[in-house]
Amino acid sequence: MASDLNAKLLDGEKTREVVADVAAEEEEEKLSRRLWVENKKLWVVAGPSIFTRFSTFGVTVISQAFVGHIGDTELAAYAIVSTVLMRFANGILLGMASALETLCGQSYGAKQYHMLGIYLQRSWIILFMCSLVILPVFVFTTPLLKLLGQEESIAEMAGTISLWYIPVMFSYIWAFTLQMYLQAQSKNIIITYLAVLTLALHIFLSWFMTIKLDLGLAGVMGSMILAMWIPVFGQLGFVFFGGCPETWTGFSYAAFKDLGAIIKLSLSSGLMLCLELWYNTILVLLTGYMKNAEVAIDALSICLNINGWEMMISVGFLAAAGVRVANELGAGSARRAWFSIINVAVTSLIIGSVFFVLFLVFRGSLAYIFTDSEAVARAVEDLSLLLAFSILLNSVQPVLSGVAVGAGWQSVVAYVNITSYYLIGVPLGLVLGYVLNLHVKGIWIGMIVGTAVQTLVLLVITVKTDWEKQVVLAQERLNKWYMEASRRSNGSRGAA
């Protein structure tokens, strides 16, 4: 009897173990399935976004290479315009366009499809007005640089180059907004195809117009203008002629209504991204006032170039995080929004960790890709540990910024950026660099501390956030603007 009872107990225990094993396998299968589905959605946005940014960055680098063969004055002037003026314009316009990422992403998730077209048109209006405000900086570049004490020949040449850059700046109005509009729908593969075409065409035209036709600076800048506008026309053609039938229903007078709330969100977005994009510019400017500044700036520019290429990956994940979070909040799923945040953060951190290790292993030889100077190479190697940590931080921080964009927290992040970058990072860098004589390393340490503080604060905000409440807030925002736009757009749509 006792043996029968023991046998039954053992059988019951085995049954429970089998059931537990089956449940664990089902849970594992369920998790693996969720990861597979989520990563497919993630890379549909992140892959094209990363490649497109590599292409855009590549256009600038290729142009710089051709300008460098024209003359030293032209190269110096091009460097000033592209790294200071265009970063200034790029930061403002890209930042303001990121409001569209919030609105389109949430509207698409909520299946308010026709609102995407209205938001797109509103962003065109806002960014065009903003470009007109920025325009005088490009028109009066020469007197501005002379006023700041720049050498006359470089200031004159920079003034010429900045005029060539005006069409490039205006192309950003459509390039940034169309990319975010298409990303929200996971239809941005067309952007990748156009990026491949653009990069190849720019290399050929720069060579043909500069070398074969001997057009010099006009050849390079003319090729750059074409490289920036071809993707714009291609994306407009895709949108207008049937590529987005659900979200593009033609031009609407509703785009001119209720611009106040969109302008407010756009300004918050612009401030948020400007404060990030201008951070490295301040690092270069502060370094320029040091002893032996030439070697320091050369080494720093190489490090920032390497960091810039890696940042293209991080910014791609920023876009992907924004789209995924916005889509899920718009769809009303806090659980899926949180799952997408964890997935994109872990994926980006793994990639960043790989680059962190690779750079530490090859840090002694990477500098020679960019320079033959032993002094500069040694300076780069001396900065390599700081660069490696910057790369690691860059794998997390943009993802958290993307989460903020997807949720519509741009104004909150703007305050975080002001505090962490400009009240902590820059002052600490000045003390370490100039007072404690750590030079460029001191300035960079201050910058890293500022970025680390920002990352930590955003991480705490993200973890502590009530995502169910964020779903409610997203729905309230979308329903309000949806009803207002729907009332006003009836009968006011024209053909595309």
193-227 per-position pLDDT tens digit: 888 888 888 889 888 888 888 888 889 899 999 98
What is the pLDDT at residue 23? 43
> What average pLDDT does the segment 464-483 reach?
78
Q: Is the dihedral of CA 427, 429, 434, 437 positive or negative?
A: positive
What is the pLDDT at residue 273? 67
Which residues, in sequence order, are bridge partners of residue 487? none
Tell me if 210 sits within 8 A of 218, measured CB to CB. no
Question: How close are the terminal C-alpha atoms of the chain, in Å?
Answer: 86
Token pair 């920023």: residue: 318
What is the pLDDT at residue 232? 92
**Secondary-structure percent of the chain, ordered helix, strand, coil, rounded to 5:** 90, 0, 10
Q: Per the structure block, which two tokens stand in for 26?
A: 């089902």
Which residues, in sequence order, are bridge partners of residue 493? 252
Give the pLDDT confidence of 152-193 residue by residue, as tens digits: 888 888 899 999 999 999 999 999 899 889 988 888 888 888
Q: Count other Cβ atoms within 10 Å, centred on residue 453.
A: 18
Question: Above 90 in pLDDT, residue 145?
Answer: no
Question: Above 90 in pLDDT, residue 386?
Answer: no
Report how far residue 233's alpha carbon sits from residue 439's, in angstroms, rounded to the nearest whole number: 47
> What average pLDDT does the segment 272-276 reach?
66
Tell me if 170 sits within 8 A of 125, measured CB to CB. no
Residue 15's pLDDT band (cuts 50, 70, 90): very low
Q: Is 492 exposed, middle or buried (0-12, 13-18, 19+ CB in 10 A)?
A: middle
> What average pLDDT does the segment 102-120 reach?
85
The backbone torsions φ and ψ at residue 44, rounded to the nearest 5 degrees and listed phi first, read -60, -35
Tell me if 90 sits within 8 A of 84, measured CB to CB. no
Q: Is the dihedral of CA 236, 241, 242, 243 positive or negative?
A: negative
Residue 138's pLDDT band (cuts 50, 70, 90): very high
Amino acid identity of 274?
Answer: C
Report how far residue 287's alpha carbon sits from residue 292's, in angstroms, rounded to the nearest whole number: 10
What is residue 252's three-state secondary structure? Answer: strand
> What average pLDDT does the segment 83-110 reach?
81
Q: Is 241 exposed, middle or buried (0-12, 13-18, 19+ CB in 10 A)?
A: exposed
